[in-house]
A and B are shown apart, each in its own frame.
Chain A
Amino acid sequence: MSTITAVPASASVSADLRHVVVVSRKTPIALAIITALAALLYALAPRPGYTHFRFSESGDPVHVPTLTVDGMTTAWLSVVIITALVVVSVAYVAAKRKVPVWVPIVFALVAIVGFLAWAGAGSTAEYPVVSLLRGSMLLAVPLVFGAMGGVIGERAGVVNIAIESQLLFGAFGAAIFGSLTHNPYVGTLAAIVAGVLVALVLGVFAIKYRVDQIIVGVVLNVLVYGLTDFLYSQVLVPNGTTLNTTVRFERLAIPGLSQIPVIGPALFRQTILVYVMYITVPIVWFALYRTRWGLRLRAVGEHPQAADTVGIKVERVRYRALAIAGAVVGIGGAYYTMVSVQSFGREMTAGAGYIALAAVIFGKWDPVRAALAALLFGAATNLQGTLSVVGAPVPSQFMLMLPYVVTILAVAGFVGRSRAPAADGTPYIKE
């Protein structure tokens, strides 16, 4: 029996290989599923009452009045809009064109607003829109830096599961040196060095000794967890005041831009790490797609043999890419002890590195899309705190679960076709 089934199986596989995917139908399908789920939720569990969105904080130069809307009307309006977006994406696919990036972005924004309107209906508490945006941006900082590091490494052909350990070691290094010098800039520098160190260990084992990159990454995460836990209880706890009390970055308002209503206080009254994040994403994009370095790096990730043939030193490119990736992830690690809290805590990254990895895949190994995915995950994490404020009927655990479920759907291919760089994860053996 097995021989009979084998023939069509192998035939279909070779057909798959020949079939070139130009347009993916998966985006409209995914959007349609989410739309249907939202409509189902609103139909089955209607919540009467009004929802309040507060757009201003005390001390804003321009006061924007609080918006009060009818919860269910807004929710159903959002369903109408996202249904229209589904139609738009179907039209693009029918015309054999790629669905542009703005469609899923607008879709996500409208769907979130509709969901918030539904969840907050009937509650007297107001949604603080500004702090909601600011919190999302802030929570996304380590994710975005982690995702940028992941993109750089994977584009060069090295899978970086060790983002988690680079973030954690960065936070650890920043805590010690930031506390010793009382200077958050020195702390951030230490975080960068710590991230590079972990990345180089990954490089030695993955590139020189050709150990399976996923194994090295997982083991490095365990190693850094153990190492920081050990040093934390042996060194940091007994010397808490000298070694583990940092001076955090101050919030810095950008003149002019921070005066814009709503967006200004949310995006441009942040710490310097957030501004660094704003410029890191376009820099990574430019470096990858518009410079000779980026071209070589991508060549090494897609077809190392061809790159070697034209004289590119594959191993050197990969080492450098990993070091740069480690530095970028390290900045993200500084967030924990230079922005978020004042001291290092046991395993304080709590799986953010894995979410960053998910953002890399969700963003299809593209820096801009990966950053947007990281922002979405940051917003989802931020949302659960906000929903408990307005007494929403959604248990916080399900909101916390959301990024992971979304990622599973993404890798399962429901959201477009995510294709890894061809040589991702394979060591290059020169012949």
Chain B
Amino acid sequence: MSAEQTVAAQPRQQKEPEAGNNRWREALRRIVSGSWAVSLGAVILAVIVGSIMIAATDDGVRTAIGYFGSRPGDTFSAVGKAVGGAYAALFRGAVWDFHATSFTNAIRPLTNSLTQATPLITAGLGVAVGFRAGQFNIGGRGQMLMAAIAGGWIGFGLNLPPVVHMLVAIAAGIVGGAIWAGIAGLLKATTGAHEVIVTIMLNYVAFYILGYLLATPGLLQAPGSSNPKTAPMKPNAIMPHLLGGKFNLHWGFVFALVAVAFTWWLLERSKLGFQFRAVGENPAAARVAGIDVKRTTVYVMLVAGALVGLAGVTQVLGTTTTGFGDGIDAGVGFDAITVALLGRSTPLGVLGAAILFGAFRSGGATMQAAVGVPIEIVEVVQALIVLFIAAPPLVRAVFRLPQPGSRPRRTTSTAAEVAA
């Protein structure tokens, strides 16, 4: 999707309008018709719909509407209070707590957002790699759960020296996720089974495998307990805090940034990544060019699963270190799809989208606690963002943005170039 748009954008960039005035107009037009304008428009639209939902379900607004005829101003101030209060709480929980007395407390929400963003970054990268290679990986949940099983078992079941223990556990998680996604890739390559169906089904299989392991003494269940929960991770396996004990942010965030850099290198600079993109753009052409499409399909899913697996093991060793249950994926597997779509499947885009969604998650919790707006509103806004982004014509129509192919009529110089 994104690659197509960049290909379309390139020829335009090569043409330079002669007059300075035209150049500025051209630049502005390129910005407002480009994909980033659509992304921004989609976010704005989604936030507006979210505001309407908050206002419509607010008690104060409903009371004020009751006497709308006599005092209409009350309704508007109630709407403003409900929506403004909700978004202020969101901001307070996501970026900067302006009620806090010390700098540490004020900045803590931002670090919480980054902590929430950490698994979204790596899982989003996993889905994005799939998208770039023309594969739709809905199996994030299952891959994360399998990674949690593998990494978690190493994390609390073994005794290894510091650092080594953590690295071995991370490696196990990555392998677990890669294998689970690799099944889908292998089935697609050998039998043509659609990866969407297989990955959805593997989500449930992984969920019940984890459920079985957690409910069976001697496997993943914590010794001496009958709860479906594992024992706490060993101290040597836990990812250390990045900014000291006062903040939740852990080394997983650094690993996620490394994963961003690695994925960028893989997709943009490596031979394997070139093959991924070639297969994604046109499998038939890739086959003619000498690329083994089936083998590439398996590699794509292995890489995607490895990245999602890193997200799963980060949850276990970084975020929830006191033992985990079957909800350890925390919906990250599905949010990763929206992150990858919002980030246009580029590594840096995924990083930005994941931080935005991490901020939504962190701020949503504060919003629920402070003003009583359920955190699910965040889910709705996220889904709407992706829905609008997927339909650029809709967003362009709402904001009256120019179509990417259209050209301003008045600039004759560019028209002449097109003719030439």
Contacts and interface: CB of A to CB of B under 8 A. Distances in A.
Interface of A: 2-3, 5-6, 9-10, 13, 161, 205, 209, 211-212, 214-216, 218-220, 222-223, 225-227, 229-231, 233-235, 351, 354, 357-358, 361, 395, 397-398, 400-401, 404-405, 407-408, 411-413
B148 interface: no
B200 A354 contact: yes
Contacts of A358: 197, 201
B164 interface: no
Interface centre among A13, A226, A398, A407, by most chain B C-beta atoms within 10 angstroms, is A226
B196 interface: yes
Contact of A404 (B53, B204, B338): B204
Contact of A10 (B136, B187, B202, B288): B288
Contacts of B376: 225-227, 229-230, 233
B334 interface: yes
Given A222-B338, A235-B57, A405-B205, A395 B216 contact: yes
A230 B191 contact: no
A413 B196 contact: no
Interface string B206-219: 00110110011000
Contacts of B377: 226, 230
Contacts of B193: 408, 411-413
3 cross-chain pairs, A with B, having the tightest CB-CB distances, nearest first: A226-B379, A223-B383, A229-B376
B383 A222 contact: yes
A13 B194 CA distance: 18
A153 to B, nearest CB: 15
Interface centre among A9, A404, A405, by most chain B C-beta atoms within 10 angstroms, is A404
B287 interface: yes
B187 A412 contact: yes
A205 B291 contact: no
A229 B197 contact: no
A5 B53 contact: no
Nearest to A201: B387
Given A223-B387, A358-B201, A401 B374 contact: no
A233 B374 contact: yes
A226 B331 CA distance: 12
B238 interface: no
Contact of A214 (B196, B289, B292, B294): B196
Interface centre among B136, B290, B338, by most chain A C-beta atoms within 10 angstroms, is B290
A223 B198 contact: no
B405 to A, nearest CB: 15
B390 A218 contact: no
A411 B291 contact: no
Contacts of A10: 287-288
A215 B209 CA distance: 27
Contact of A411 (B138, B198, B379): B198
Contacts of B384: 223
B243 interface: no
A401 B142 CA distance: 13
B336 to A, nearest CB: 11
A2 B291 contact: yes
7 contacts: A218-B138, A220-B383, A226-B377, A226-B383, A234-B57, A404-B204, A412-B193
A225 to B, nearest CB: 7
Nearest to A406: B201
Contacts of B200: 354, 357
Contacts of B205: 401, 404-405, 408
Given A219-B386, A223-B387, A2 B197 contact: no
B188 to A, nearest CB: 9
